[in-house]
Amino acid sequence: MSCSRSCPRRGSCATCPSPSSGEPCRGKLLLVGNPNVGKSALFSRLTGTHALSSNYPGTTVGFLEGRLAHGERCYRLVDVPGAYTLEATNEAEEIASRIVDEGADAAILVLDATALERNLVLALEVLERKLPALVALNMVDEARHKGISVDPAALEEALGIPVVSTVAVTGQGVKELLDRLPEARPARFAPSSKEERWVAVGRIVESVQKVTHRHHTWRDRLEDASVDPLWGILVGALVLGGSFLLVRTLGEGLIDHVFDPFFENLWRPLLDRLGTALGPGTARDLLLGTLFDGQVDFEQSFGILSTGLYVEFAMVLPYILAFYGVLSLLEDVGYLPRLAVLFDALLHRMGIHGYAVIPTLLGLGCNVPGILATRVLESRRERFIACTLISVAVPCTALQAMIVGSLGAISMGYVALVYGVLLLSWLLLGRFLHRILPGFSPELIVEIPPYRLPSPGALGMKLALRVKDFLVEATPLVLGGILLVDLLEMVGAMTLLARILGPLFRWVLGLPGEAAGPIVMGLFRKDIAMGLLLPLHLSPRQLVVATTVLSMTFPCIATFVVLLKELGGRDTLRSMGLMIAAALLAGGLLNALFLLLG
């Protein structure tokens, strides 16, 4: 966490002092509002771009905390998860209700001026709890463009608490909001029923809001086209195609010009000196891995300090930065909810709702952030289905390079066949899991915000938090996983496993028994496994079967250990069992098909 730019001792966030007394921050403020009302942009304005991302105890629901110093007070600002009601309908709303019930010095109620009626429902629920509050009437610029006029003075009189008009993206009204913080007070609303609350909301809106006619703009037409069943698919294809091109360009640029030069010019000499100091032995084998011509090969040595760090920081991190940057941009512009709506009908048939498209898209870059992003899903059942589908049938960038590189030179038809099998496996396995797993998938209830220009500060904060969370969570798991694999290889466990699986590969998949070893090696690195398959001189059809099975079994060690952390041991074993069964079934059917075709 970090203090706001106005704090006199910004940076000493652990003991952020009150300017007059030198005491640590003891005040607590809540930022409460519906999803997509500009809370993130306002949070960024109030605290700077530094914040701490946390999960509410015992849940996967996250929220942000920051420090805000203003006048004689220093506050801990909590960005409460976006909710439509405190009468919880999902886990995020349940956590929002708990945080509000825990109390605070005051709550800043962020209302979207373009959708005042819906926003006031949550506001009245908070005010009924007698929490001191004031209102940030946000997006008044967008409301004006839509022909909506809200009188802040009349709204202040109706609610009985201070109301300040704001535009969080530009900072308009934020200073006045801070100046009026001491005026926050409880409102006079008594607890009421849902029907009584809606009557009160209608009465307030009628007295404070006026709507005038306006003509549709090009942005309005684009918003409508984005969720249209036909045009929405075309817009989505253009957006996704442009996004993947941008991610690939940014990721490869970072690798070529930043990370590879760092590892080659700065890190390699340090490892060479360490290898000389250690000499031959177990310590060097674990830390540096296998040496090729006396030197570390960052991709193949498989040491903790060589391949372990290189894979995460030079191969995965650049795409993480690119993916999260583009994803945050699409999110803040307002496109991601539209994409979720377009995919919801398909994904709901697989037991997950439309927001699962986000982890799936991330998985196409790297499965690790894809697995981590399944936290946006509301139930453990949905997270299990999404994690399993990503692990089995969503090829990461490295895996896609392997598929194209190994089969593209023979025939692009074989490449299309592998992708077709993966897509079919994704659809059928999802449908199968939806049918056999107990429970149900909640409906997708999502606000479709207008398109808007994003706040650079909020974008930077979101990107920094996501990258930090990835590094903190994934680094120890990746390094620990590589250490475990190295130890298994040293005792010969992997070789023994490959020998045991040889007959199964011959009878079911039509592959020579020697192919079992490389495919088991796919747990380490897919491209290395592919390199070990090539000397076996497989026929094109055998290579298709081997590539398909290799693609569907055992994601890289980084994905495996993150999967273990997210699902736990029992569900990870279930997911692995489904993975192996699906891969053998797909490979066996491909082999049978090729035998029938002669």
Per-residue pLDDT of 418-430, as tens digits, reads 999 999 999 999 9
How much is the mean pLDDT over the chain? 81
- For residue 292, the cross-strand partners are 295
* Residue 439 phi, psi dihedral angles, 5° rounding: 100, -175
Percentages helix, strand, coil for the chain, rounded to the nearest 5?
65, 10, 25
Do 32 and 103 touch, CB atoms closer than 8 A? no
Which pLDDT score is estimated for 64?
Answer: 83
How confident is the model over 555-584, as a mean pLDDT?
Answer: 85
Statement: residue 8 has pLDDT above 60: no
How confident is the model over 141-145, as a mean pLDDT?
Answer: 82
Reduce the DSSP state of residue 214 to 3 states and report it: coil
Q: Which residues contact 507 (CB under 8 A, 6 or more apart)?
A: none
Reduce the DSSP state of residue 47 to 3 states and report it: helix
User: pTM for the full model?
Assistant: 0.60
Both structure tokens of 208 = 């404070």
Statement: residue 1 has pLDDT above 50: no
Q: Residue 479: which of 204, 282, 259, 286 has the closest Cα?
A: 286
Statement: residue 462 has pLDDT above 90: no
Measure Cα distances from 331 to 34, 38, 41, 323, 397 in Å: 15, 12, 12, 12, 22
What does the buried/exposed string (b/e) look like for 382-415 if buried means 16 or more CB atoms within 10 Å of the residue's CB? Answer: bbbbbbbbbbbbbbbbbbbebbeebbeeeeeebb
Both structure tokens of 152 = 């802040």
pLDDT-above-90 percentage for the chain = 25
Per-residue pLDDT of 243-283, as tens digits, reads 878 877 888 899 899 999 999 999 999 998 898 888 888 88
